[in-house]
Amino acid sequence: MRRLLAERGLTVNRLGGVLGNVTAVTAGALILIFLLLVLTSDDPVAATDALLSGPVSDPTRVTQWLGDSATLMLTGIAVALVFRVGQFSLGAEGQVAMGALASGALLLHIGGTPGSWVVGLLVGALAGFAWGAVPGVMKAYGNADEIVSTLMLNYVALFFFAFAIKEWLQPPNAGFAVSDFYERNAWMPTFGESPVVPLSLVLALVLVIVVAYLLARTRGGFEMRMAGSNMRFAAAVGLRVRRSVWLSMALSGAIAGVAGAAIAQTETHRLILGLSGNFGYDGILVALLAANRPLLVPVAALAYGYLRTGGDIAQLTSNTPRELITTAQGVLILFVTARFTGAGARLRDLVQRLRARRTADSVSTAEVR
Amino acid sequence: MVDPLDTSAGSAGVASAGDPPAPRLQVEGLCKTYGTVVANRDVALSVRAGSVHAVLGENGAGKSTLMKMLYGVERPDRGEIRVDGQPVRFGSPRDAIAHGIGMVFQHFGIVPGLTAAENIVLGVEPTHHGVLDRAESRRAVQAVMDRFGLAVGLDDKVGEMSAARQQRVEILKALFRGAATLILDEPTALLTPQERHSLFDAIRQLTQHGTTVLFITHKLAEVEEVADDYTVMRAGEVTGSGSIAASSRTALVKMMVGDAVTHSRRASAPRGAPVLRVESASVRGGGGRVAVSDATVDVCRGEVLGLAGVEGNGQLEFIEMLAGLRPLAAGRATLDGAPLGGGENRRARSLGVAYVPEDRLAAGVAADVPIVENILANRIGSGGFSRFGRLDRSAMRREAEQLVERFDVRCASIEVPVGTLSGGNMQKVILAREISADPKLLLVAEPTRGLDIAACARVHEQIARAAETGVAVVTLSSDIDELLAISTRIAVFSAGRLVRVFEQVEQLSAAELGGAMLGIGGDAEREEAA
C-alpha cells in the first residue's frame, strides 16, 4: 500500500501537505456558505449546524452517511476507471439501475436460498458489465461519441427500470412503483447496531484497491493508462487500444452495477422507483474530486457523502430551501476542485498562460511612439 | 537545395562605406540568472546596422534569454544595452518597440479568425472619427508590403494560412510598427525547405531596405546561407563572434558544442540479404487520395535506406504503410516472407517492425507517464514483463535502468515523466524502446527534428549501430544533409512515385539529390550550381 502510494507520488509528507491545504480551503468555503445562509435562512446558525455536523449528530445519521459513502465510492471508482482511459462516460446512473434491476429480478425468485445475496451482487455486476460494454464497443469499433451514447443509454435504462417494475414486479396491492421486499437471505450483511456499518463499505474499499492494482500493476491496466495518456502513442507502440476502451467501460459498468445491487440489498430491500438516486452522476463528482486517482476515491467519497447527508438533514430540520443547500455544496466543491484537482491545475495554468500572452500581446498591440 | 559553398548571397548586402559610428545594437556585460541557473553570463553582442546577424548555440545555451532581454520581456541583472550608441533600459516590450526593435516569436501571436490586414494593424488601427478605417488600413499595409517587397493576401484569413505565411504576417506586423531591427526566434523551425528559402529571400529584401535582422538558430547550413555575422553562445556565455565569410564550419561547431562528439556516422556494415520487399505498392493518404503509387524497392539487413522527397510526395505515407498505420491499396510488401501492409500496427510489430514516428510528442511518447513505462511500452504490449497479466515491476526497472545507461538518456531518474526531458533525450528514449525490441526492420521518420548538433550526432550513432547489428533501417528526413550523412542508399519520392534510387551515397551531392527530388535531371542541376 505504501509503495503503491509512493508510486503515485504521494509520500506521507506530501499527503500531510494536501490535508493542510484542504483545511484552509474548506475554511474559506465555510465562511462563504455561512454568509449565503445568513442572507436567506431564518435561522442560519441551525441550518449551518445541520449542514456541517448533521451526519454525526446521531447514530442513524452516521449509518446513512456510511451507506451513501459506500455507494459513492463504488460509482466514483467506476467513473475514475473510465476517465483514466481518457473516456468521458456519463453512464454510471443507468448502470446502477440495470445492476439493481437484474439482481432484484433474480432475488425476488431465489431470495430465500441462503447466500443468495452473493449471487445478487454477481448478477448486478454482470448486468452492469453488459450495459457498460454497449457504449464501450460502440466507441472502440465505431468511434461513436461516448458522452452522447452513455447519456442516452441512461434514459433507456432508467425508463426500462420503471417499466419493468410496473409491468412485472409490482405487487397488485402496491399503490406505487415498488417490488415486493426481498427475503432475509438476499440482504447484504451489516455490522453493528448503531451506527450500522454496511458490508458494502468494505466491498467498496476492496474494489477500489482492485482497480488501483489493475491500473498500476497489470498489463491490461498499463494498456488502459497509456491509451488514456496518449491514444495515438498507445496505438503506435502496438498496445490494444480498442480492447482497453471497451473493456474499461464494461468493467466500470460492472462496478456501477454492483453499486445498484448493493443499494437494493442493503437499504431499500426491494426495488423502488428512483433507486439510483443520482448516485451515478455524483460518482462523476467523486472521481473529479479524487483527480481520478483510485486511492483518493474513498477520501473523496466520504467527504462528499458527508456533505450530501448534511444537506439532506439541513433540509429536514431547518426551513432552508433545497436550492440553497445545493448552492452551498456547489461552493464547497468548487473551492476544493479549483485548488486540488487536475482540472484546477489546468485552469491555473491557463490563467497564467493568458497573463503571459497578454504581456506578449501588449507588445504587439502597443502603439509606436 | 542547401549548398554549403554559397555564402556570398547575403554578405554583399549593405556594405559599409566608411565605418558607421555605432553599431545598431550593442550589448555589454549582460547577466541574467533564474534562481540558481545562470542563463547569461557577461554576454557581449554587437550588431552592425543593415546586417544579418546570427546568434548560434545549442538548446539551452541562453540565446532565447538574450533575445528576451533585447525585447524587454526580461530585465538583465547587470550589463548594458545600447541602441545606435545610446544606452537604453527596457521595462517592457513597449519600450523596445519604441526604439524600433521588433520580434517574431517561434509561436506566433496572431488571431486566426482575422484577415492578414486586420492582424497586421491590430491594436494600431487607423481610425476615422473613432471608426475603423478599413480602406486606410489596407492602404497603409499595402504601402509597407510594397516598401519591403513582401506580399501576403491581405484579405485571407490567417488561420487558413501555412506556417510560412503566418510568419510573414508576423514580420509585417513588426515592420508596420516601425521595427528597424527584427529579431527572429528560430524562424525556420516550422518551415519546409522551400519555405525556408523564401524566408531567406525575404530577409535579404529587408536588409536591402536598411532593416537589421538578428536571428536565433542552431542550424549551421542556414547561417552560412543567409547571415553576415555571427555570435556563438554556449552554456550562457559567448564563445565567439565574427564574420561568417572568415570562419569555417568546424570552428563554429567547436564554439557551439565544445568537446562533445558532433560528427555523424554512416553505418558501415556490409549489406546483407534482403529482408523487406515492396512490389508495386500503392497507398492512400489523408482524404483517400493516392499518396504512393507503384513503388518497388528491396531493403537489406545492415543498410540504412534514406527516403528523400519534398514534403507531401508520398514518402511519409510509404513509411506509415510499413509501420502498419496505413493499409496497402495495391501491390504487396513482405518482411522475411510474411505479408505486411494490412494496416494493422500490432501485426506489423509482431513481425519485427519498429517505428519511430515523425511527431515525437503527438505519437512517440506518453508525456505525463514515467520514462520506465514509455521505454518498455512496446514490449509490454507484446506480452513482455508480465506473468498472468501481472507486471513485474522490478524487472521493468532493471531493464529501463540498463537502457537509459546504454542509450545515454540524461534524466534524474527513470520515474520522471518523459515529457520533462529535452527533445534529444526524449528521442533517445524512443530509439531505445524501438531498438531494444530487437526488430528486423527499423523505421525512423524525422530522426532529429528540432534537436541540436550534439543530440543529432548521438541519435545518428544509435541508428548506425542498429544497422550494424543487422537491422534493416528505413529513414525519412526533410533535411537533405542528414540523409546524405547517414544513409547507405537513398530512394527519392516525387509525386507519389519512387523515381530514383541512389546506390552510391558517398559521391552524391546535395544539389544532385535536390534536383532529383524536384524531378529535374541531375546534370541540369549540377550546371546550375556551378
Amino acid at A250: A
Residue B524's pLDDT band (cuts 50, 70, 90) = very low
The pLDDT of residue A260 is 97
The pLDDT of residue A22 is 59
Same structural domain for residues B176 and B266?
no
Question: Which comes out higher in pLDDT, residue B283 or A347?
Answer: B283
Is a pLDDT exceeding 50 seen at residue B148? yes
What integer is the mean pLDDT of B132-161? 86
What integer is the mean pLDDT of A16-31? 65
The pLDDT of residue A364 is 42
What is the spatial distance between Cα B128 and Cα B132, in angstroms, rounded to a whole number? 6
Looking at every residue in chain A, the average pLDDT score rounds to 84
Total tally of structural domains belonging to chain B:
3
Same structural domain for residues B460 and B339?
yes
- Whether residue B366 and residue A234 make contact (CB cut-off 8 A), yes or no, is yes
Contact B28, B246 (CB under 8 A): no
What integer is the mean pLDDT of A103-119? 91
What is the spatial distance between Cα A214 and Cα B389, in angstroms, rounded to a whole number? 9
The pLDDT of residue A345 is 60
- In angstroms, the Cα distances linking A186 to A102, A113, B239 are 13, 8, 81
Interface probe with B: pick from A237, A243, A369, most Cβ of B within 10 Å: A237
Secondary structure class of B66 (helix, strand, coil): helix
Residue B303 lies in a domain: yes
The pLDDT of residue A337 is 65
The pLDDT of residue B14 is 42
Q: What is the CA radius of gyration of chain B?
A: 25
Is a pLDDT exceeding 90 seen at residue B10? no
- Whether residue A219 and residue B346 make contact (CB cut-off 8 A), yes or no, is no
Total tally of structural domains belonging to chain A:
1
Is a pLDDT exceeding 80 seen at residue B18? no
Q: Out of A232-241, B449-458, B492-501, which region has the weakest mean confidence (pLDDT)?
A: B449-458
Same structural domain for residues B378 and B510?
no
Residue A65 lies in a domain: yes
List CB contacts of B268: < 8 A, sequence separation 6 or more. Answer: B464, B468
What integer is the mean pLDDT of B248-271? 83
Is a pLDDT exceeding 60 seen at residue A366? no
Q: How far apart are the first and last CA of chain A?
A: 64
Q: Which of B438, B473, B502 is the last residue of a domain?
A: B438
Residue B373 lies in a domain: yes
Give the three cell numbers for residue B314: 508520398
Q: Which of B257, B276, B306 is the last residue of a domain?
A: B257
Residue A338's pLDDT band (cuts 50, 70, 90) = low
Looking at every residue in chain B, the average pLDDT score rounds to 87
Is a pLDDT exceeding 60 seen at residue A357? no
Q: Is the peptide bond before A195 cis (omega within 30 degrees of 0)?
A: yes
pLDDT in tens, A276-320: 988 999 999 889 888 889 999 999 899 888 888 888 888 787 777
Q: How far apart are the first and last CA of chain B?
A: 13
Residue A1 lies in a domain: no
pLDDT in tens, B349-370: 999 999 999 888 889 999 999 9
The pLDDT of residue B288 is 83
- In angstroms, the Cα distances linking A195 to A186, A306, B418 are 21, 15, 48
Give the three cell numbers for residue B131: 471608426
What integer is the mean pLDDT of B379-393? 92
Min CA distance, A361 vs chain B (Å)? 7
Q: Which of B239, B257, B275 is the last residue of a domain?
A: B257
What is the spatial distance between Cα B203 and Cα B63, in angstroms, rounded to a whole number? 20
The pLDDT of residue A342 is 52
pLDDT in tens, B458-512: 899 999 999 999 999 999 998 888 999 999 999 999 989 999 999 989 889 888 8
Of B208, B100, B198, which Cα lies nearest the Cα of B148?
A: B208
Percentage of chain B exceeding pLDDT 90: 48
Question: Which comes out higher in pLDDT, residue A267 or B2?
Answer: A267
What integer is the mean pLDDT of A208-234? 95
Same structural domain for residues B319 and B391?
no
- In angstroms, the Cα distances linking B38 to B35, B188, B234, B452 are 8, 27, 12, 20
The pLDDT of residue A41 is 73
Same structural domain for residues B433 and B482?
no
Min CA distance, A239 vs chain B (Å)? 5
Residue B153 lies in a domain: yes
Same structural domain for residues B208 and B133?
yes
pLDDT in tens, B330-339: 999 999 999 9
Domain range spanning residue B510?
Answer: 260-352+439-530
Q: Out of A246-255, A325-334, B336-345, which region has the weakest mean confidence (pLDDT)?
A: A325-334
- Whether residue B368 and residue A229 make contact (CB cut-off 8 A), yes or no, is yes
Same structural domain for residues B278 and B172?
no
What integer is the mean pLDDT of B162-190? 87
Q: Which residues of B touch A233 (CB under 8 A)?
A: 362-366, 377
- Whether residue A360 and residue B373 make contact (CB cut-off 8 A), yes or no, is no
Same structural domain for residues B188 and B206?
yes
Residue B408's pLDDT band (cuts 50, 70, 90) = confident
Give me the torsion for CA of B110, B116, B121, B127, rounded to 10°: -130
Residue B1 lies in a domain: no
Residue A107's pLDDT band (cuts 50, 70, 90) = very high
Residue B525 lies in a domain: yes
- Whether residue B177 and residue A225 make contact (CB cut-off 8 A), yes or no, is no
Q: Which residues of B touch A357 (CB under 8 A)?
A: 109
Strand B212-217 and strand B52-56: the pairing is: parallel
pLDDT in tens, B284-316: 988 888 999 999 999 999 999 999 988 888 999
The pLDDT of residue A369 is 32
Residue B34 lies in a domain: no
The pLDDT of residue B122 is 85
What integer is the mean pLDDT of B409-417? 90
Q: Which residues of A touch B383 (CB under 8 A)?
A: 219
The pLDDT of residue A32 is 78
What CATH number does the domain containing A257 carry?
1.10.3470
Strand B52-56 and strand B229-234: the pairing is: parallel
Residue B31 lies in a domain: no
Residue A99 lies in a domain: yes
The pLDDT of residue B133 is 83
Question: Which comes out higher in pLDDT, residue B430 or B57?
Answer: B430
The pLDDT of residue A223 is 96
Domain range spanning residue A97?
Answer: 58-309
Q: Which residues of A touch B74 (CB under 8 A)?
A: none
B488 DSSP 8-state letter: S
Same structural domain for residues B346 and B429?
no
Same structural domain for residues B191 and B326?
no
- Whether residue A226 and residue B97 make contact (CB cut-off 8 A), yes or no, is no
- Whether residue B123 and residue A369 make contact (CB cut-off 8 A), yes or no, is no
Same structural domain for residues B271 and B243?
no
What CATH number does the domain containing B494 carry?
3.40.50.300
The pLDDT of residue A119 is 95
What integer is the mean pLDDT of B442-465? 90
Is a pLDDT exceeding 60 seen at residue A2? no
List CB contacts of B271: < 8 A, sequence separation 6 or more. Answer: B300, B301, B302, B303, B488
Residue B342's pLDDT band (cuts 50, 70, 90) = confident
Same structural domain for residues B454 and B427?
no
The pLDDT of residue B126 is 82
The pLDDT of residue B70 is 92
Residue A350 lies in a domain: no
Residue B23 lies in a domain: no
Is a pLDDT exceeding 70 seen at residue A216? yes
